[in-house]
């Protein structure tokens, strides 16, 4: 667009930070970007669940010690809270595609020298986004996981391929209790038989890792189709219970503090 017309549009519709709504040129302003908390170790060796650094923790969380995962490792860039949670909601549900670049860059940074550097992207063969069902894709107009996957694939120099297909619509996982999420996505994905999957080391991309039900089902389908390995990478994951409990305790102490 010509700079003159861009200037007119900025006067009529001033650009705002998509996380906080304040007038800013950037899709995510500097203050909000600084408020995004990256995930730090220690985390579970397999699923990436953050551990309380004050507690002695085993290499694996209780869930991963008790079962075998179809993916070898899962990592996330940052916590789904504050400015990042707001930006993801605007990106995903309000169609603010301008957020694709900064959110994708957050994942790229995490791969290079952050909490996802142990995914060893250089040893991968292909990047695959979690697909949307065609009805949801028509409604939303884009697949947020594919936008993020494009940024990651471009940065690491690996091909982006639609290795999976979503065969039936599912309820939004966020609206379901944890115990129902596995059943919600069971059988909802199939391998794309037009793609080469056998012996591939796949990086599976999504926006959120909550209970891991979606990523587990997708990884299971890929492994059954012959993938050598599936590694999982998401933009964000919820704040763990031990952190929420600590924050609640601190808030209660402030409320009852006597000066």
88-121: pLDDT as tens digits: 999 999 999 999 999 999 999 999 999 999 999 9
pTM of the model: 0.88
| Under-50 pLDDT residues of the chain | 1-12, 249, 251-256, 258-259
* pLDDT attached to residue 258: 43
- 19 and 90 in contact (C-beta within 8 Å)? yes
Residue 19 covered by a domain = no
Pairing of strands 229-237, 201-208: parallel
> pLDDT per residue over 161-194, tens digit each?
999 999 987 767 766 677 777 777 889 999 999 9
Residue 194 CB contacts under 8 Å (≥ 6 apart), including other chains: none
Residue 259 covered by a domain = no
Residue 42 covered by a domain = yes
- What is the CATH number for 161? 3.40.50.2020
* pLDDT attached to residue 25: 81
Residue 231 covered by a domain = yes
* pLDDT attached to residue 1: 42
* pLDDT attached to residue 252: 40
Residue 77 covered by a domain = yes
Question: What stretches of the chain adopt beta strand conformation (E)?
Answer: 73-79, 126-129, 164-166, 189-191, 201-208, 229-237
* pLDDT attached to residue 256: 44
Residue 183 covered by a domain = yes
Residue with tokens 């709504």: 21
* pLDDT attached to residue 181: 79
Per-chain mean pLDDT for the chain = 88
- 152 and 127 in contact (C-beta within 8 Å)? yes
Residue 221 covered by a domain = yes
When divided into structural domains, the chain yields a total of 1
- 125 and 201 in contact (C-beta within 8 Å)? yes
N- to C-terminal Cα distance for the chain? 58
Q: Give the range of the structural domain holding residue 119, as residue numbers without chain letter.
A: 27-250
Residue 133 covered by a domain = yes
């Amino acid at each position: 667009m010509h700079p003159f017309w861009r200037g007119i549009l900025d006067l009529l519709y001033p650009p705002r930070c998509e996380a906080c709504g304040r007038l800013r040129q950037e899709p995510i302003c500097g203050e909000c970007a600084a408020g995004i908390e990256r995930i730090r170790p220690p985390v579970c060796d397999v699923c990436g669940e953050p551990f309380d650094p004050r507690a002695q923790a085993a290499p694996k969380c209780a869930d991963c010690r008790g079962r075998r995962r179809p993916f070898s490792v899962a990592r996330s860039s940052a916590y789904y809270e504050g400015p990042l949670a707001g930006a993801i909601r605007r990106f995903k549900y309000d169609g603010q595609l301008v957020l694709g670049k900064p959110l994708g860059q957050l994942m790229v940074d995490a791969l290079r020298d952050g909490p996802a550097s142990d995914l060893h992207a250089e040893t991968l063969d292909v990047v695959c986004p979690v697909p949307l069902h065609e009805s949801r894709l028509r409604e939303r107009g884009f697949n947020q996981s594919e936008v993020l996957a494009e940024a990651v694939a471009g940065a690491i120099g690996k091909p982006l391929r639609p290795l999976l297909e979503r065969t039936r619509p599912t309820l939004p996982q966020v609206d379901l209790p944890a115990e129902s999420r596995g059943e919600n996505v069971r059988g909802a994905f199939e391998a794309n038989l037009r793609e080469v999957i056998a012996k591939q080391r796949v990086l599976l991309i999504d926006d959120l890792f909550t209970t891991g039900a979606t990523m587990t089902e997708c990884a299971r389908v890929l492994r059954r189709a012959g993938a050598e390995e599936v590694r999982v990478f998401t933009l964000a994951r919820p704040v763990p219970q031990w952190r929420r409990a600590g924050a609640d305790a601190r808030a209660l102490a402030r409320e009852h503090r006597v000066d």
